[in-house]
Structure 1
Amino acid sequence: MLHTVRLPKHALWRLFLLPALILLAQAWPGIVHAETAPAEEPQGFTRQVVVEKARELSQAPFNPTQGEVPQALLNLNDAAWHDITYRPEKSLWQKENLPFQVQFFHPGLLYDRLVDVNIVDKGAVEPVAFDLSMFDYGNNHTLPEQIPPQFGFAGFSIEGWGKKSKQFHEVASFLGASYFRAIATDQVYGLSARGLAVDTAMPDGEEFPYFKEFWIEKPVKKSASLTVHALLDSKSLTGAYTFVITDGKTTSMDVTATLFLRVPVAKIGIAPLTSMFLFGENTDQRKVRDFRPEVHNSDGLLIKNDSGEWFWRPLDNPESLDINAFKADNVRGYGLIQRDREFNHYQDLNAAYERRPTLWVEPVGDWGFGHIELINIPTDQEIHDNIVAFWCPKDALPVGVPQTYEYKLLWYEGGFTHPPLGYVEATRAGDAGNGGQRFVIDFMSKALNLLLPPSKVEGVVTCGEGAVVSEQQVEKNEHTGGWRLSFVVSPDQAPSALEKVLPKRKPPIDLRAFLKINDITLTETWNYAYRP
């Protein structure tokens, strides 16, 4: 074992020891440099610090305790918790004329975990201390005296300087488990993203990893983006995340995630998205009576496959849990899209569903073999996120071996389209008699608008076993400029007496459709689950 030789300060001792040290150095090269070599400068904070923390954490048993939130805070109702507001004058860097500011969320209600937040300034790390003066407690007059001296935050929000508006506006927030969300210019919050999904919709229940600590890099005056690092923890795994956040007409996040499994996990969901779909134009039977024509944060799942095919699946609010898997080896992109941007289609002055963001995931590099999983959960209330989508690797991730995924999250202001392909503008469905269902699909694009009759635009419709397609028709839609495909899908045999009583016992049948002209594909592939 190598030991540093420390010389006494007294000159006489140095005189006697020096010859011995020279002889020792000849016999054991390197030891002479232990005292004479200049000390290394301490390394500043980098992403690798979080990676090493995640690695070390994964090698220890899971410890879910991290601070304690008083019961009085957990007993708050929604209105009381929202009455606790952050004082804008307490925003980080509020007086420093920087392009970003940070505000904090108070623990309470559903947010029962305290998270540690650090600021990184030129490589140096400084924790952000909780202070009661940061918050206005509104009508919660007795709450401050019930909060312990050493306390923490539930999460934080990021505000960016609007170049057009010349004022700060909210860009993103991290709050609850590993949830976070963002908005583009002139939008309102809608769907959310998560750091990771673990065993979602599995029989033994879902595991919710959470971000337990954050490091926010202080920007400089000309910073175009803000970098946030996060340490993920859960019973089965840990992770190190880095988000480079750039706001604008489209808010982007460059994400790097490194995972360490403690134990084998049955299902891992990479870059998971969560949204809400109560009903839309494709909902022929609503669960609720409502004055609004449509209620949803997103209206479809879009996938770009490695082959270049674009695949569109309208969202649904099923009678029972509905899990769909779409093969997506080396997927090139996927997202939950809010295409419908017409206020008249929602008629909600407060929710502003037409201004909810679209969220698109763009992998960096090849992710390998896997599938996109779409989960539709039944709900009768718009307050519940009942839609989940993520990419799932084909093979189980190894325990103890770091796995890194890189991707870009794009929070779009408008409906996401992809020229030159035609895209699905609307899906409508209704009964067609004898157990059949009529589908009407409107395709749109600039290229389709230029195609006029008698152009030989054809519809290609396929369905799985158990049903047949009839009454297929393609026609120009003069009101939209696009083309409309309509058809009827019916069971291939009459239902039995039992099936008439229990019609939902049959499995759904896969439908696919697109438009073509000659051998040229004109549109994305529309997909639906027909339930006889």
Structure 2
Amino acid sequence: MRGRTTIQWIVSLGIFGAPLAQASGITFEDVIARAEALAEAPFEAPEATLPEPLQNLSYDTYRQIRFDPERAYWRNESPFSLQLFHSGFLFPHPIKLNVIDGGDVEPIRFDTDDYTYEGAARELLDHDLSGSGHAGFRLHYPLNSDEYHDEVAVFLGSNYFRLVGQGQVYGLSTRGVAIHTALAEEEEFPEFREFWFFKPDEDATAITFLALLDGPSLSGAYRFTLTPGEQTRMDVEVALFAREDIDKLGIAPLTSMFTFGEATPSPPEDFRPQVHDSDGLLMHTGAGEWIWRPLDNPEQLHLSLFSDADPAGFGLMQRERDFSHYLDMEAQYHRRPSQWVEPLEDWGAGHVELVEIATPDETHDNIVAYWVSDTRLNAGESQRFHYSTHTLNGTPQEHDLARVIRTRQGQAGIAGNAEAPGQHERQFIVDFSGGELDALASEADVQLYLETSSGDVREPHVLALPDRQWRASFRVPADKMTDIRLRLELDDQPISETWNYVWYPDA
């Protein structure tokens, strides 16, 4: 199987040692049954099996442990290959990994020969590491060329995973589920406990694998189908079973980072114009409206709810794709992916929720977006969801309206004149491009639809800019919190997405 002695075939064991199925194979229905059974019993935290030398690894030492690519699973048998992560450091609870091949289930056992231990990590080999296990895995595929297998997906820590498409580098993260995010009670992070990979064949363009998730409030069964490409796609089927009442359940969560951008001030000592993995939340409502919400790094937590029914999609976007907007060759923010979530069935009534948390720098993820159903998940109940999530560089293909390309704001007064009108107002400009604007003459009768929660807005204007761009501008009181919506219209019909922003006086 891997150019060495094949691991003996045995029956896979489920979490906590309970048999999950016979060696004839594992199905999604088997994992669903296991998740349901887990939820009917009291929660059992993972056992502490990590050998003592791995329990207190530093970040630098952990980075000196690397999986040997020559030991990758399926590397000579399929376009897909599988590499593993060592337990230790921030990952104290090993997960179970299995391969389903021809109906048989083969556990992937921990083996120090799979890894190289460099520097201080070499001392670990003086100890018995047989109970170490694996912290996670990454999947490789010839994404950008036939000669090299790029990393296209990684599952590591709690229920997090990341995807990249062609020409991209890792940025935002996806989660299996979000529980009690931005509530007074502590947020809960259930963990993926076990995975089963259906071995891909020699011509595979997609790979399917199953996962079992468990945490104090719920358990879940997942079927993932990964299709790498220009827009790497993950189809997700999930069945969730509640052990306890859940006050807030976030579906298809996306977690990202926004430190500063075009509409926010940059630190005086930072040479970079912008620093973020994502610059806005895009939504396609069940009613067909496209909404763009620029992200912010607030002084205190901000929570925004966008009510909807049967949403068509939502995602965190990295629209700024030009290197000159970041000037950061190390972080490569211009290559970070956008990610779009598309329900593959009706989700009913609920809301997209955006959480923006204050962060001092780019080392902290501070942006979360997810779907919350109006139907609560209480103890003893279950819910199912089916959706796809995929990476992209631009805007979803079905979005054919003009897009927001620039948001700027500042004091509306005149420099040097404290008595000038507008001294206590906030000036906004919002620039649009694309869609019908590409074919409009500069004298076209484009109207501005603008509404605010305060009803107080001054000097609204719309005008043509060079290069087929159009600008909306207006002022609002600087001392009032104001929720703002605007779009461009022609003959009373929308020709742009809806720009939405909340002005906070303390910003």
- TM-score, normalised on structure 2? 0.90
Q: Deviations over 1:76-97 (max 9, x none)?
A: 332222221110111001232x
1:293 aligned residue? 273
Q: What's the CA shift for 1:162?
A: 3.5
State the shift of 1:151 in Å.
2.6
Paired position in structure 1 for 2:298: 318
1:106 aligned onto 2:95: no
1:42 Cα deviation (Å)? 7.7
Once the two structures are superposed, the pairs formed by residues 11-410 of structure 1 within 5 Å of their partners are: 43-96=24-77, 98-139=78-119, 140-162=121-143, 164-283=145-264, 285-286=265-266, 289-410=269-390
CA drift of 1:113 comes to 1.6
8 A Cα contact 1:274 1:385, kept in partner: yes
Of the structure 1 ranges 78-87 and 388-397, higher mean CA displacement relative to structure 2 is found in: 78-87
Gap change, CA 1:163 and 1:318, over 3 Å in 2? closer
Which residue in 2 is equivalent to 1:488? 475
1:444 counterpart = 2:433: yes
Q: Tell me if the contact between 2:85 and 2:134 (Cα under 8 Å) persists in the aligned partners.
A: yes
Give the corresponding residue for 2:482. 509
For the 8 Å contact 2:482–2:503, the answer to whether it is kept is yes
Distance in 2 of aligned mates of 1:74 and 1:524: 50
Q: Which residue number in structure 1 is paired with residue 9 of structure 2?
A: none
Distance 1:54 1:453 in 2: 60
For residue 488 of structure 1, report the CA deviation from its aligned partner: 1.1
2:4 corresponding residue in structure 1? none
Structure 1 portions without partners, runs of 5+ = 1-40, 496-505
- Aligned residue for 2:17? none
Distance 1:398 1:339 in 2: 38
Picking from 513, 526, 530, the partner of 2:499 is: 526
Provide closer, same or farther for how the CA distance between residues 511 and 71 of structure 1 changes in structure 2, counting only shifts above 3 A.
Answer: farther
Q: Quote the offset at 1:163 in angstroms.
A: 7.0
Which deviates the most, 352-361 or 117-126?
117-126
Counterpart of 1:481, as a letter, is R
Identity across the alignment (%) = 42
Give me the whole-angstrom Cα distance separating, in 2, the residues matched to 1:346 and 1:71.
43
Deviations 1:185-226 (A, max 9, x none): 111000000000000011011000110111111011122101
The letter for the 2-side match of 1:261 is A
- Give the C-alpha shift of residue 481 in structure 1: 2.1
Deviations 1:321-369 (A, max 9, x none): 1111110211110000011101000000111101001100000111111
Q: In structure 2, what is the Cα distance between the partners aligned to 1:288 and 1:86?
A: 41
Deviation at 1:486, TM superposition (A): 1.1
For 1:519, give the aligned amino acid: D
Local SS of the residue matching 2:137: strand
Give the 3-state SS of the residue equivalent to 1:460 in structure 2. strand
1:474 aligns with 2:454: no
CA contact (8 A) 2:87 2:132 kept: no
In the TM superposition, what is the alpha-carbon distance from 1:286 to its structure 2 partner?
Answer: 3.8
Is the 2:486–2:498 Cα contact (8 Å) retained in structure 1? yes
User: What amino acid maps onto 2:152 in structure 1?
Assistant: V
Secondary structure in structure 2 of the residue aligned to 1:240: strand
Q: Which consecutive residues of structure 2, in runs of 5 or more, have no partner in the other structure?
A: 1-21, 414-422
Alignment-mate amino acid for residue 178 of structure 2: A
CA distance in structure 1 between the aligned counterparts of 2:72 and 2:197, rounded to whole angstroms: 14
Cα drift, residue 401 of structure 1: 3.0
The one-letter amino acid of 1:513's match is: L
Offset, 1:119: 0.6
Question: 1:416 Cα shift?
Answer: 4.5
Q: 1:251 to 1:218 in 2, by over 3 A?
A: same
Conservation of the 8 A alpha-carbon contact between 2:143 and 2:165? no
Q: 1:67 Cα shift? A: 4.2
Distance 2:411 2:125 in 1: 58
Please report how far the alpha carbon of residue 124 of structure 1 lies from its aligned counterpart in structure 2 after TM superposition.
1.3
Contact 2:178 2:249 in 1 (8 A): yes
Indicate the residue corresponding to 2:447 in structure 1: 458
Corresponding residue of 1:435: 424
Mean Cα deviation higher: 58-67 or 169-178: 58-67
C-alpha displacement of 1:129:
0.4
Deviations 1:471-493 (A, max 9, x none): 22211120x422111111115xx
Shift in Å, 1:468: 1.8
How far 1:130 sits from its partner (Å)?
Answer: 0.2
Whole-Å separation in 2 of the counterparts to 1:297 and 1:417: 21
Cα contact 1:287–1:380 (8 A) shared by 2: no
Q: Is the 8 A contact 1:67 1:114 kept in 2?
A: no
DSSP 3-state at the match of 2:456: strand
CA separation of 1:99 and 1:223: change in aligned 2, threshold 3 A = same
The aligned amino acid for 1:437 is R
Aligned AA (2:429): V
What is the alpha-carbon root mean square deviation over aligned residues? Answer: 1.7
